[in-house]
Amino acid sequence: MPDILITDDGPVRIIRMNRLDKKNALTLPMYEAMAQAIGNAATNSAIRCLMFAGGPNVYCAGNDIGDFMKAAQGGGLGQPILNFLYALARCEKPIVAAVNGNAVGVGTTMLMHCDYVVAGHEAKLSTPFVALGLVPEAASSLIAPRLMGHARAFSLLVMGQPLNAQEAKEAGIVNLVVDAAATDAQGLAAAHRIAGLPPQGVLVSRLLMRGSPDEIVARIDEEAEAFKVRLRSPDAQAAFMAFMTRKK
């Protein structure tokens, strides 16, 4: 079964991370598949809303460490990752997310590009970038302070302090906290409510609220350059090697 499952439920495109044996750690092909699903939806007038989802007990464990080690050797994030982040930033269709279990790293920062997030009551959001010798990505260094204030953003992005579902709701990342078993259904219901609204009204309103994506893309690129430098740093190399040693 594919690691990314793309299904259309009427006007809602569901993008489901399905590498459950690896807790939905994202590989480069998974990033590319999600970027293509977003891009294809842009030219499909029948699709009016997108929804990201994971498994019953895990949303996304962040980046696959093996791919990250290769990226470090290659000197950057990898084009598939950037393609996905650009697709998120430039997506004109509204995005919903249904989050159960852990959302780590990009599993959390991608939520900052979503318009409506439903979280199961046991969901936990964390961004251990700095602890790995890295820096935040997905324009989270720009979006998070605007969304939740500098103090909360610093705690999450720099100190790596996780947020539970209720704390994420209070911070403005999550809209609705529900029982874990109801997460997908509630997310899909919200996506269909959005899809049922006049599409041009949604499009223009969303653009007015979010502003030009160019600023977001510019920050993605700025973070990517800093990320490239940090990937080669002794701190990052030591953190990755320690992780790989523990895995063995």
pLDDT digits (tens, 9 = 90+) for 37-70: 999 999 999 999 999 999 999 999 999 987 777 7
What is the value of pTM for the model shown?
0.95
- Residue 212, SS3 per DSSP: coil
Q: What is the pLDDT of residues 94-111, one digit of tens each?
A: 999 999 999 999 999 999
pLDDT on residue 75: 60
- Domains of the chain by range and CATH? 4-181 (3.90.226.10)
Integer Cα distance of 248 and 245 in angstroms: 5
- What residue type is assigned to position 130 of the chain? V
- Residue 98, SS3 per DSSP: strand
Integer Cα distance of 161 and 62 in angstroms: 16
Residue 26's φ and ψ, nearest 5 degrees, are -85, 125
pLDDT at 175 over 60: yes
